[in-house]
Structure 1
Amino acid sequence: MVTLSIDPWLQTINLLAACQDRILTRTHVMVSSGDIRAQRIPASLPLRASIRLIERQNSTTVTVAWSDPTVGYFGDQTWRLTRARHTGVCAISGRFIGCGDEIYRPMSRPIPVNAKAMILAEIVVEFDKHHWVS
């Protein structure tokens, strides 16, 4: 009788290799000369992130829980109020963000993979009117 042993880790690696092109399309990092930098999430790709506003820390910062199966989980991420330097799309509402619009964006070191993500400030203000997740 022949016994076949399948290594679960090797099986996982082989499955990931089989869908490498899709993974590269959805990965929001760029590797150049050994340096990993956050890249803007392309507007053409559907956002698969689950985003929850957890609490308002003060008038210019909020705590966000960000979970995306392609880039990871940030359960307690601080986002700061600033002005958009580039056009983009609100991570919560999907609305257009123009240069100069008031937005919240992640602030942490090292630079997170979702560093270029933005939430329109008016979405947070609207959320203020209702309630915060506890």
Structure 2
Amino acid sequence: MDTDSPRAQSFTVTVLEYMSNSRVCLSWHDPTLCNYEEQIWTPTLARRSGRCALSGAQIRRGDAVYRPQTRGRTPPANGNAMILASVLAQIRGG
């Protein structure tokens, strides 16, 4: 899923848990594409520009972000989505 597209508004994201290994467990619901009740997101650097799935803020290549964890060869349907690490830190802080 490309969060720069108009479809970006069709999903809801809920932070379920901040895990001890810097990962985050999210609930991602998109009635037009996918539904993940407990999806693990991992910290990384953005490989491309885009938009934050939570805030809509601009993401530039190299920004600290979280992305869905991929298991096996098939990425999740929302595998291109990103969330700025600073936005998750703000949510966690208060």
Structure 1 length normalisation: TM-score? 0.64
Task: Look at both structures and tell me which one has the larger radius of gyration over its CA atoms.
Answer: 1
Equivalent residue in structure 1 for 2:80, among 116, 119, 122: 116
The alpha-carbon deviation at position 127 of structure 1 amounts to 0.9
Q: Which amino acid aligns with 1:108?
A: T
Q: How many residues align?
A: 91
Gap runs ≥5 in structure 1? 1-27, 29-40
Q: Which runs of 5+ in 2 are unaligned?
A: none
Structure 1 residue 68: Cα displacement = 0.3
Write 1 or 2 for the structure with the bigger share of helix. Answer: 1
Higher strand residue share: 2
Match of 2:49 in 1: 87
Say which SS state the counterpart of residue 85 (structure 1) adopts: coil
Q: Which has the higher contact order (CA 8 A, sep 6+)?
A: 2
Preserved CA contact (<8 Å) 2:13 2:29: yes
**Runs of 4 or more consecutive aligned structure 1 residues displaced over 3 Å after TM superposition:** none
Percent identity over the alignment is: 34
Quote the Cα distance in structure 2 between the aligned partners of 1:129 and 1:59: 17
Q: CA separation in 2, counterparts of 1:123 and 1:42?
A: 15
The Cα RMSD (Å) is 1.3
